[in-house]
Amino acid sequence: IVHELDSAMVIFNLNIRPNMVICESGTGSGAMSHCIMRSIAPHGKLHSYEFNQSRAQTAKEEFKRNGVDHLVQVHWRDVCGKGIEGEKKDTGGKEEDELTFGSGGFEIGPAAADAIFLDLPEPWLAVPHAAHTMKSNGSICSYSPCMEQTQRTSQAMRDCGFHSLKTIEVRLREHYVDNVELDTVPTAKIPRDLNVNTFIPGQEPTD
Amino acid sequence: MSQEANSTSTDSETKNEVQVDPFLVKPSNHVSDGDYVLLLFADRRQIFAQALSSWRGRSPPLKINKRSYNTSNLIGLPYGTVLELDLKNGLIPLPDGEDVIPDQSLLKSLEPCDNDNRDLTDNNKSQKLTEEQLHQLRDDPSISGSAIVQTIIQNSTTFESKTSFSKAKYIKKKQIKYQLRCRLVKCTSSTICEALYLKDARKMMNLREDSLAQILSLSNISAGSKILCFDTACGIVTGACAQRMGGYGSIFSIYTGQAPCFIDLIARFNLSFVEHSSIKWLHSGQLFHDDINAKESGLDYDVIDRNRLVWPCSLQSHTQIYVEKMKDKNYRLEFMTKRASRFARKLTRPSSDEILQMLENKEKKCDSLILACSYDPTATLLSLLPYLETSCPFVVFYEYMEPLIECFREIQKQGLAINLRLTDTWMREYQILPNRTHPNMNMSQNGGFILTGVKLCPTFGKNEIDDEIVKNFRKKSGGKRGKKRQDGSNNSRGDGDKRRKRGKTATNNDEV
């Protein structure tokens, strides 16, 4: 899942506007998809790719339930190209809802996407496909938790001809606000009784 | 997000085609005449330029390093082109494949060597060329920048003994000085925000791009929203909203002073006519009255003036004579086109009273409220909250945290909103190069603070969870997490941990 601050940064830097065509892989929980769809309404299109069949199916149903399925198309596809094309599994669902597995690339033709967002374990494999599908001067964004993935992806992007690379890390700090009353230090001294024995080390206690 | 009744795109037919509203203009990939562009230099400077084919005044519009250059050759170039700065001829576009750091081949041919800097003494004597010789080379127009760099490298005694990374750094430094290149970049909200933040953060109320990104995301802007925005951060929030909404919906932006003074910055966004007209300017005096009851009765003179205009409108006699005297047909056409567009603007511009009526429309209040002003946040927010629809978000941005703390406490006390959050962000950029990955040397410390919340209904809204309602809800949905208990009770733990009920723990898990 992509958290709110990260999704805000991604959408801002990818310069997503109404009526754009965006590609996103993988769909995952669909949180990022909803954020993107909010920004590309009313006539934009989000192509969302997920290589896990059940997740792809769930996402498709969820988008329909939320009333946004005119803005999105879910593909059951491995954009990195590591699966076998044409694999069909029995979904047990309705005929028209069945998705066919595809492998490699984004399938929407060359120079079709305004921006591409990758949230994959091996994004460097998808970068050449992204370069092919991207319109001229489009933006790409890859979201990775590890530095090694980031390094490989940056190198892949440079090799494929992307320019002006920027790598950022953002963190949110939430502040908790409460009213605290500050007292000054109490000035009362401990009362000392004159008849009480005082203990001085090294001497016999006086009685 | 409502379904458009007239959207007829089906999945199989129009997978790639997008049904575009004919009213909207798609952002172009090439620079047009009059567009603002951003030039990103190799030494990290960012300069705005306007691509003009003709300009008023003597000096050409673009100023770099105290010299002025012509920008008409930028028109028609695709965004992303790399330009080289030639001292005589200005910015020259380079063919595809060139990068802002020139001569990548020079860098790649550096063999990895085992050198380190143990024998290096820094006594400023390692360059054999004198300063006069260098100046001569630079002013000679026949010698290219790359030739100068080569000469300098050849005349450096310590170059060969450097490490390969050090050599690359040296070459890059010399190239920035003698072979300055820049990239032509489109002006979008993220690039403009970054450029302005680098130039003068104080003018922008320290609005860093991640804070701006958060403002846009938290306020739930999308096409068709009605937004009330009070922006004194140079107008960048208004411009970014206009771009994000693409012309659909409206932005009511409040200004103080005689006239909206951020027109200059908003022009940099290269907004289309529709996007520009979605911004409606409101004077602060119309919303913040000293005396609320005094209503300015009387006629709306702007509307009367506008109703008097008729189009097509014949030319006045002196204008007719002026036009007939023009010899150049193109010039005449340009004049008439400008006149027509002036009329178009006058006829379509709503008057300030009309804008106020649009805002105060009782049937549809604003979908979100954004404050990024340098005035007292608490007072401003309290006076503008009535214009916001219930259950809609508001976002208050401020440079410093203390006023937002006051605001937080006040809203909490009056019970006007729920889900109040006071946050700030930490952003760090990295340099990712093979064997040289590290965070950047400089990191900005202050990007401003954001207070956000969701407005409660003034009559029914409550900020506490009503136990009765929760019990009924749980009975219906079958207990916590949907599991029905056999004895019918809904207690899982009893009243053990009282702190969680009062919301005082750091991890406040939702119990509903």
The whole-angstrom distance between B20's CA and the closest CA on chain A is 6
Contacting residues of B for A7, CB less than 8 Å apart: 217
Q: What is the pTM of this model?
A: 0.80
pLDDT by residue for chain B (512 residues), tens digit each? 333 333 333 333 334 445 556 555 666 778 877 788 888 887 778 888 887 766 666 556 677 777 777 777 778 888 888 888 776 667 777 776 666 666 555 555 566 666 777 777 777 777 777 778 777 777 776 667 777 777 787 777 777 777 777 777 788 788 777 778 888 888 888 999 989 898 888 888 899 999 999 999 999 998 888 999 998 888 899 999 998 988 888 999 998 888 777 787 888 888 887 788 888 888 888 887 765 545 555 667 777 777 777 777 777 777 777 777 777 777 777 778 878 877 777 777 777 778 888 888 777 888 999 999 889 999 999 999 989 999 999 999 999 999 999 999 999 888 899 899 999 999 999 988 888 899 988 888 888 999 999 999 888 777 677 778 788 888 887 766 655 544 444 444 444 444 544 544 444 444 43
Residue type, B1: M
Pick from A31, A36, A115, A116: nearest CA to A79:
A116
The whole-angstrom distance between A164's CA and the closest CA on chain B is 9
A39 contacts B424? CB cut-off 8 A: no
Window 113-172 of A: residues touching B by CB (8 A cutoff) are 135-137, 147, 150-151, 154-155, 163-172
Residue B109 DSSP class = T
Q: Is B396 within 8 Å of B231 (Cβ atoms)?
A: no
Contacting residues of A for B370, CB less than 8 Å apart: none
- Structure-block tokens of residue B493: 């733990």
A165, A168, A172: residue with CB nearest B428: A168
Contacting residues of A for B24, CB less than 8 Å apart: 18-19
Q: Is A18 on the interface with B (CB under 8 A)?
A: yes
The whole-angstrom distance between A82's CA and the closest CA on chain B is 24
- Structure-block tokens of residue B471: 């019990």
Cβ-based neighbours of B452, under 8 Å, separated by 6 or more: B218, B393, B394, B395, B396, B419, B420, B421, B423
- Residue environment code for B40-53, b if the CB has 16+ CB neighbours within 10 A, otherwise e: bbbeebbebbbbbe
Mean pLDDT by 10 residues, chain A (207 residues): 89 90 89 92 88 90 91 87 57 47 71 89 90 87 92 91 88 88 88 70 65
B421 contacts A42? CB cut-off 8 A: no
Nearest-CA residue of chain B relative to A73? B11
Contacting residues of A for B107, CB less than 8 Å apart: none
A9, A41, A164: residue with CB nearest B223: A41
Contacting residues of B for A163, CB less than 8 Å apart: 80, 99-100, 183
Percent of chain A with pLDDT over 90: 37
B188 contacts A15? CB cut-off 8 A: yes
Q: Is B296 within 8 Å of B215 (Cβ atoms)?
A: no
Q: Is B247 within 8 Å of B23 (Cβ atoms)?
A: yes
Angstrom distance (rounded) from CA A173 to CA B396: 16
Cβ-based neighbours of B374, under 8 Å, separated by 6 or more: B205, B232, B399
Angstrom distance (rounded) from CA B214 to CA B222: 14
Which element (helix H / strand E) includes B93? strand B90-93
B99 contacts A163? CB cut-off 8 A: yes
Pick from B457, B487, B491: nearest CA to B474:
B491
Residue A206 is predicted with a pLDDT of 56
Window 23-52 of A: residues touching B by CB (8 A cutoff) are 35, 37-39, 41-45
A41, A147, A172: residue with CB nearest B437: A147
A136 contacts B209? CB cut-off 8 A: no
The whole-angstrom distance between B273's CA and the closest CA on chain A is 15
B246, B401, B424: residue with CB nearest A19: B246
Angstrom distance (rounded) from CA B298 to CA A99: 65
- First and final C-alpha spacing in chain A: 76
A15 contacts B190? CB cut-off 8 A: yes
Q: Is A108 within 8 Å of A47 (Cβ atoms)?
A: yes
- For A112-169, the pLDDT digits (tens) are 888 999 999 999 999 998 888 888 888 899 999 999 999 999 999 988 888 888 899 9
List the single best residue of B190, B227, B237, B432 to mutate versus A (max A Cβ within 10 A).
B432
List the single best residue of B16, B182, B194, B407 to mutate versus A (max A Cβ within 10 A).
B16
Q: Is A57 on the interface with B (CB under 8 A)?
A: no
Q: Is A103 on the interface with B (CB under 8 A)?
A: no
Q: How many CB pairs under 8 A join A and B?
A: 165
